[in-house]
Amino acid sequence: MEPVRGALVGVSGIGGYHRKIMYELEDVDLVAAAERYPEREAVRPHVEQLKEQGVPVYPALEAMLDEVEGIDYLTVAVPHHWHAPYTLEALNRGLNVLCEKPVTVLVQDGWEVARLAREKGLFVGVDFQYTSYPHSHRLKDMITGGELGELQEVVGVMEWKRTDAYYARGDWTGKRYADGLPVFDGVMMNQAVHLMNTALQMGSRVEDHATPRSVQAELYQAHPNIEVEDIAVLRADLGEATLYFYATTCCDSDYRTSLTIYGTRGWASWDTARAVVHLEGQEEPIILDDPSDRDAIHKNLIACIRGEQRELYAPAEQAVRATLLIDGAYASAGRIRKIPWAQVKGIQHLLDFAAEQRKLLSDLGDWGFDSEAVETDEKFKFEGLEDD
């Protein structure tokens, strides 16, 4: 079978990784790329390598799409704020899309992406690689099969390290707005969105991800030179279960990326390597630790385009629910409270304790935050923070 014709927008950073996959996969012919900033020092080597490989590089997405015919799918590997406009442009031109996470920054844009893809009969996959892991599939099958019983709680904890240099690496990193568009590059939209998406995937007993009905959140900023949250704690009503979620980039090392799912007949732990299931009446846990394939998201989209598979691992209509959760958290908090760096020393221990107690930080001490839950129904839109 002939390879599908793929194109790429954004060639450095995560775009460099997607470029490598698309160039090396036998089922893809990388026919073109677009890059807004080809002369930047960090970008130039990627542009030169593409040219050496015979791949033309255009200065704008529109110019590439005007000139190059027969593209089967576009990989959108640019900062968050360009995800919506580039994905919508591609869909309006009849292209399938693989978009980096999150699918969009604003939930209202995400619903529009899902609607337009459905209307045009096109695929929009999102690079939530956790959804492609075999142990994620097997755990979801056990949940939908009722083996955990009725779902009660999902607890997510992500404790990572990100330095000031990390946040200073781009003109959009750690910012609320870039190029006149909302980017909200905080711990939720950037690092934790993967785990949030998986929490929603595991938070329902049907194939669809859970849809947050309401969200209450507290957001804090300790890194001194950013505009967004680097600590986020929230609880959300998922319908059947309650989600408790804790995330930070203020640790001195990377500690945890984990979920625990509790049901009336058992419970399960999930991390990026495996899932462990404990069922009522069984002494030994069930270990799910099949090896994963980081290229699986591309392979899955290609198979769907060819008609060899019917379902994407992370379609836009599911992925947008993580954006709904994040935007709901911003709307609930209303603002981001600045705290001194000294206050977050050993933050992982506090988040571990809060997760064990199912508490927000303000429930545990004087963190100076007062928020209310907001409903996140189909009419919900995020318009920005109170102190923007």
pLDDT, residue 294, reads: 87
Record the tokens describing residue 353, joined without a space.
């304790």
pLDDT, residue 387, reads: 85
pLDDT tens per residue, range 320-348: 999 999 999 999 999 999 999 999 999 99
Do residues 125 and 303 make contact, with C-beta atoms less than 8 angstroms apart?
no
pLDDT, residue 365, reads: 83
Nearest of 13, 216, 36, 184 to residue 104 by alpha carbon: 184
Do residues 209 and 318 make contact, with C-beta atoms less than 8 angstroms apart?
yes
Record the tokens describing residue 122, joined without a space.
């096109």
Q: How far is CA 283 from the centre of its chain?
A: 35
pLDDT, residue 81, reads: 98
Rg of the chain over all Cα atoms, to the nearest angstrom: 21
pLDDT, residue 202, reads: 98
When the candidates are 3.40.50.720, 3.40.50.880, 3.40.50.80, 3.30.360.10, the CATH number that belongs to 130-292+312-365 is 3.30.360.10
pLDDT, residue 370, reads: 87
DSSP string, 132-166: G-HHHHHHHHHHHTTTT-SEEEEEEEEE-B--HHH
Same fold? 4-129, 130-292+312-365: no
Show me where the domains of the chain are located.
4-129, 130-292+312-365
Which residues of the chain register pLDDT less than 70? none
Kindly state the greatest CA–CA separation across the chain: 63
| Location of structure tokens 């009522």 | 280
Architecture of domain 4-129: 3-Layer(aba) Sandwich (3.40)
pLDDT, residue 366, reads: 79
pLDDT, residue 14, reads: 95
Do residues 46 and 11 make contact, with C-beta atoms less than 8 angstroms apart?
yes
Calculate ∠ Cα 82-86-87, nearest 5°.
115
pLDDT, residue 33, reads: 98
Question: What b/e sequence results for 313-333 when a residue is b if at least 16 CB atoms lie within 10 Å of its CB, and e otherwise?
Answer: bbbbbbbbbbbbbbbbbbbbb
pLDDT, residue 368, reads: 81
Nearest of 332, 365, 345 to residue 234 by alpha carbon: 332
